[in-house]
Chains A and B, each alone.
Chain A
Amino acid sequence: MTIRISRRGILAGSATLLAAPAVWGQSINRDRIILAMTQEPVQFNPLLYVNAGTENVPEACIFDALWDVNDKGEFFPNLAVQVPSRQNGGISADGLTWTVNLKRDVKWSDGQPFSAKDVEFTYQTIMNPNVAVRSRAGFDLIKTFRVKDDHTVEMELSRPFVPFLWAWQNMHIVPQHILGREQNIQTAAFNSQPIGTGPYLLRSRTAGSHMVYERNPNYHRGPAKVRQFIHKFVPDQMAAYGQARTGEVDYYALSGVPPDRWTEARAFPDRDFLRYPSPNVQFIYYNCGKPQFADPRVRRALTMATQMQKSIDDIYFGTWPRTLSYLQPTHWAYNSDLRDYTNDAAGAERLLDEAGWRKGPDGIRAKDGVQLKFTMSTTAGNTARQGCQALFQQNWKAIGVEMEIRNMPASVVWGEYTTQSRFDTLLVAWDPTVGLDPDYTARCHSKMIPVKHRQGSNYVQYENAEVDRLLELGVTQTEQADRIATYRQIQAILHDEVPFAAQGGSVQGHLKRKQLQGPTPNQYVTDITWNVYDWAWA
C-alpha cells in the first residue's frame, strides 16, 4: 500500500490540529482546582522544606499541624482538641508546662492511627542533629517531652515562651511509624512520597510541571469539597498571568500579577483580583558594626532623606502599604503612633551636621577621616529593588552621601555576606521570626549577633540594653494587652534608632476565577493554601 502525502493534505492536517481547541481554556472543571505558582516545591517533608510559599502547598494539602491560624491571627485547633491556654489548663500558671490533648479519630493516609508518639517523634526529629530542619526556634526551649498517654503530650519549657504556639503552628506532624524506621531522614523516600493526615493525598507528580492531589476520604474534619487539587508550576510570571487570563489555571498566586498589570487585572469581569498582604516587610538594613553607621543619628538622618512613599508609589505602583515597623500596619501589635519622618532632606542635613558629619571639598560628608560612603546590595536582577536603590542613591547624593549599588546573585548576597555582617547596607524583605508573633529577639537582641555570638540573625549588629530587656519580657507575657504595650515600645525605639528602616509591607496581586470560593488573604501565614480544605466551587 502506498501512502500519498500531498502538500494540501499536510496543510489541512496542520490547520485541523491548530484549530481543534477553538477557544483554549475557559470552561470550569468543577471536579478540580488548579493553582499556579512560579516556583516548584522540591521537598515534601514538612520538617525539611526550604522555600516557604510554594513548599507550603504540599505541607498544607498532605499534613496537619496541632493548630492553625486564621486571617484574624487567631489560633484554631487541628490535630489538637483545643489550643492550649491558661484558661483551659493547657498552660500552667508559671507558663512552663504545656499540655496538648490530641484528637482520637485521626488516621494517617495509609490507615495507621495518629497518636502522641507521632508528635514526640516530630519533636525528636526537629532536635536530631543529623536532620537539616530549617529551624529549632522555640523547640530548643523544651526541657522535657513526655507522652502521657496515646492522646496526650506534655512539654516542660526551660523558660516561659509565649510564641511557642507559633513554633508548633509552623511545624506539621510527621508519621513515626514510617520515618522512625529510616536510617537517614534526609534521603528517605518519604520526602517525595509522603504519607500524612491532611485533607489531600499526593496522587502523582510530573517533575517541572504539576502535582496532583486527590481528597482524603478519611480526613478527620470530613472530606474536602473538591475531589482533585492540582498545583501547577509556570516559571515565567507573565506566562502564568496569561494562563490565569485564559482560564488554563483557576487561581494564580504567590508572585502573582505584576504590579503594573493590577489595573488591567481588576477589570476582568469573570475574575476576582485579590489584594493579598504577605507577612513580608522590605527594609534598608544598616550595618551598625561599620563606622559610618555606629551613630544612630546617622542612620536616622539617612532614613529621613529617603523618599519612601515615593518609592512605593513609583516603583510598586502604590500597591504596598507604607509601614514604619517590622510588622505590617494591620498586625495586631503594630504601633500606629509612629510618625513617618522620611522625605525630609533639610532635616537630614541638620542632623548630620549636628552629628559632626561635614561636607568635604568633594561634597561628600566625613567625620574623623571616615567618609559617608557605602554600598547597598540586594539580589541582582530584582528590577523593582534596583529602582528603589536608584531613588535612594539620588536622595542621599542630595545630602552629601555617596552610595554605590553592588548587587549580587541571591546565593551570594544572602550567604556569608549577610550572615557574617560583611555588607554596608542591604535592601531586603523579611517576615517576623517566629511565625507571625511580634517577637523579634533573633533580629535585634544583642546576644543574637552571629559574628559575635554564633547565634541569632541580628545581622545589623544592633545593641540596645532596653530593647534586650523588652524582648525578654515580651515572650513571657501571656495577656495580649501587655504584649501590645511591650512591642509598641520596642517598635518606638527601633523607629528612633533605625538599625533597619522599614519601607513597605509586601502585597501580592492574586487572580482567580469568580466562582472559586475559599482563597482568603491571611497576613499571618506564608501559606496561601492555609485553608485549602475549605476551597470549593460556587
Chain B
Amino acid sequence: MIGFVAWRLLQAIPLLIGVSLIGFGLMHLAPGGPLAVYTLNPTIQAQDIERIKIIFGLDQPVHVQYVKWATGIFSGNWGYTFFGGRPVLDVILERLPATLLLMGSALSVAIVLGLSIGVLGAVKRYSVFDVLATTGALFALSFPTFWFGLMAIFVFAIELRWLPSGGMWELGEEGNILSLLRHLVLPTMVLALVITATWSRYSRSAFLEVMQQDFMRTARAKGVPPAARLMRHAFPNAAKPLIALLGVELPFLFSGALVTETIFGWPGMGRLFVDALNMKEYPILMGMMMFTAIFVIIGNLLADLAIAAIDPRVRLR
C-alpha cells in the first residue's frame, strides 16, 4: 500500500504542474485584469496605472510571470496579494477554519440525513415516504440556494428573531461556543438541504441496485434478519459509489460555498474566492486553485484506499 500511495503522489506532481500552467494561462488570457480596480478611483490617471502595472510585474510576458510564481511555490513562497501585500498562504489559511466548520457540519448533517432517507426510500420503494423524499429532493435541487438562504433569514432571523441572520459569532463573543452554534444553524441548514437531496438520490439508487443482487436474495432465503441484511450485506457494497462521491466532495470542504457564505456573511474561502475573482487577484486565485487541486488528489486517493479497505476484491497496485 505504501508503494501505491507513493506512486500516486509522484503522479500528482506533473498533474499539479499541468493544472497550474493551464490555470495561470487561462487567467491571463481572459480579458481584463487587476488594474481595472484602479480605474474607478477618481484620482487615478493613465500614468499611475502604468506605474502600478510595473510594480505588480504585470508588464512582463506571461511566461516570465509564471516562472517567477512557480519558482516561489517550489520554495514555499505562495506570493503576495496585489491589494494588501499579504502572504497568500496566510490569507488562505485564515479563512480555512470557518470553511471547514461550515462545510464539515453541513456535509456531516447531509450525509447522515441523505443516507437515511436514501436507504429508507430504497427499502420502502414507491411508498408514500419514498414519493415524498423524491419530491422533496427535486424541490431542494431545483430552487436556488440564495432563495433558501434569504427565506431562512426572513423567517428565522427577521420575523421570528430566533437566530442571527449572519456572521460567525455575536460580535464581542468570539470563542463562545453557544454563539458559534447559533450562527451555524441557518447556513448549515441551507447548505445541508441541497447536499442532503443529492446524497439521498445517490444512496437510494446505490442501495436499490445492491438489493436486487443475487447475494441479497440468498441472504434473505437463508433467513438473515432484515437489519442484518442491510448492514452486513447491502451496506458494504452500496457504500463503494458513495465513498467515491465523498472523495470527490472532499475538496469542497476546503473550497467553501460561494452563495451560502455570501448570504450569511460567513467568513470562509468561498467569499475569498468571489472577492479575489472580482478584483482579479491572480496570486490568491492561483493559490486557491492549487490548494483545491491538492485536495482533489488527496480526496481521490483516500477514496481509493477506503474502497480497497472495504472490498477485498480491490487490489492496490
Contact = CB atoms under 8 A, between A and B. Distances in A.
Contacts of A40: 275
Contacts of B174: 206
Contact of B36 (A24, A186, A410): A410
A450 interface: yes
Contact of A239 (B55, B86, B163, B265): B265
Contacts of A411: 32-34, 36-37, 278-280
Interface in B44-99: 44-52, 55-56, 80-81, 83-87, 91, 94-95, 98
Contact of B55 (A19, A50, A132, A232): A132
A135 B43 CA distance: 6
Q: Pick the most buried of A130, A233, A418: most chain B CB atoms within 10 A of its CB.
A: A233
B168 interface: yes
Nearest to A245: B158
B38 A134 contact: yes
A403 to B, nearest CB: 21
Nearest to B31: A412
A407 to B, nearest CB: 13
Chain A CB within 10 A, most for which of B34, B169, B172, B174: B172
Contacts of B166: 234, 236, 239, 242-243, 248
Contacts of A50: 37-38, 41, 83, 279
A376 B31 CA distance: 18
A135 B84 CA distance: 16
A43 B83 contact: yes
Interface in A430-470: 430-434, 442, 448, 450, 453-457
A171 to B, nearest CB: 10
B84 A191 contact: yes
A239 B165 contact: yes
Given A188-B85, A408-B31, A410-B36, A170 B43 contact: yes
A516 interface: no
A279 B167 CA distance: 31
Interface stretch (A103-111, A207-215, A341-349, A507-515): A207-215
B265 A134 contact: no
A414 interface: yes
Interface in B254-283: 262-268, 271-272, 274-275, 278-280
Given A207-B95, A456-B46, A134 B161 contact: no
A263 to B, nearest CB: 17
**Secondary structure class of chain A's binding surface, majority of residues:** loop
B198 to A, nearest CB: 24
B35 interface: yes
B32 A415 contact: yes
Nearest to A187: B85
Contacts of B94: 207
Contacts of A228: 172
Given A21-B182, A135-B44, A210 B171 contact: yes
B178 interface: yes
Given A19-B162, A135-B48, A239-B165, A415 B36 contact: yes
Nearest to B79: A187
A132 B35 CA distance: 11
Contact of B165 (A20, A212, A243): A243
A118 B181 CA distance: 47
A421 to B, nearest CB: 10
A457 B45 contact: yes
Interface string B132-150: 0000000000000000001
A192 B34 contact: no
Interface in B16-44: 31-44
B37 A187 contact: no
A24 B155 CA distance: 12
Contact of A232 (B157, B161, B167): B167
Interface in A306-362: none
A48 interface: yes
Given A40-B275, A134-B44, A411-B280, A242 B83 contact: no
A454 B50 contact: yes
A208 B272 contact: yes
Given A22-B162, A24-B165, A242-B165, 14 more contacts: A43-B84, A50-B38, A50-B83, A131-B55, A134-B38, A207-B94, A236-B262, A236-B263, A242-B153, A248-B167, A410-B36, A414-B37, A419-B46, A456-B47
18 contacts: A17-B178, A17-B181, A42-B275, A43-B84, A130-B55, A135-B41, A191-B85, A208-B272, A228-B172, A232-B265, A234-B166, A235-B274, A238-B150, A242-B165, A243-B166, A412-B31, A431-B42, A456-B47
Interface of B: 31-52, 55-56, 80-81, 83-87, 91, 94-95, 98, 150, 153-154, 157-158, 161-169, 171-172, 174, 178, 181-182, 185, 262-268, 271-272, 274-275, 278-280
Interface of A: 17-26, 29, 32, 34, 40, 42-43, 48, 50-52, 129-137, 170, 184, 186-188, 191-192, 206-210, 212, 228, 230, 232-236, 238-240, 242-243, 245-246, 248, 279, 408-415, 417-419, 430-434, 442, 448, 450, 453-457
